[in-house]
Amino acid sequence: MFSKLMPKEGKFFDLFNAHAELVVKGGHQLAALVADVGQGAEAVARHTKAIDETETRADKITHDTVSLLHTVFNTPLNRDEIHQLIGRMDDILDLIQDVAESMYLYDIRRVTEETRRLSDISVSCCERVKTAVSLLSNMDNAQAILQTCQEIDQLESDADRVMRQGMAKLFREEEDVRQIIKLRSLYELLESVTDRCEDVANIIEGIVLENS
């Protein structure tokens, strides 16, 4: 079905793919930020600025997608599905930006192994979001898309487990109350990045089941 509409309204998929590229870029920028926390406030500020710029570019794509939605008659997906998909993808980068800004504002100078693991899982989720989105224009890819969505679901479960382990370790071993507050918030934000990726996976899964 999609192939018949693609020549006329394929730009929606171009916009989805462009946004997904930025989601991956933001994920890798977040991992670089976490890796460089020990380098000082200047390094954190530099990474935070880069993430802000990526999020701004993604906002522009979201705006262009919604604008296009209001100017065309035939769309390759249900209009609500298009709106939800681009909106939930944008939420991923919003959360990544929140993580970066929190690390800067909280003046976090050291991170735990759980923080690094959560950032790595976030990157993996972002990469799979990009994979699922890139396959979406052709329903011959239905099984591959559903498999990718299942992988995102599993990664979100992994992140939830790492967050719980990190919380338990934090409250047992950390004596600085301020550090507990900072890291608890950081864990929750990082886990929320994977939640937003799972939201995208759920939307894509629904699109595939409806149209394949």
CA distance 30 to 122: 9
Asked if 146 contacts 205 with a C-beta cutoff of 8 angstroms, the reply is yes
Q: What is the pLDDT of residue 7?
A: 39
The CATH number linked to 173 is 1.20.58.220
Residue type, 145: I
Q: What is the pLDDT of residue 107?
A: 87
Domain-located, residue 209: no
| 210 Cβ contact list (under 8 Å, min separation 6) | 78
Whole-prediction pTM:
0.92
Domain-located, residue 149: yes
Q: What is the pLDDT of residue 118?
A: 98
Number of folded domains that form the chain: 1
CA distance 1 to 142: 13
Asked if 202 contacts 193 with a C-beta cutoff of 8 angstroms, the reply is no
DSSP-derived secondary structure letter, 76: S
Domain-located, residue 14: yes
Domain-located, residue 52: yes
**More confidently predicted of 174 and 20:** 20
Given a cut of 80, whether residue 108 has pLDDT beyond it is yes
Domain-located, residue 4: no
Residues 55-102: pLDDT tens digits?
999 999 999 999 998 888 888 888 999 999 999 999 999 999 999 999
**More confidently predicted of 66 and 9:** 66
Domain-located, residue 100: yes
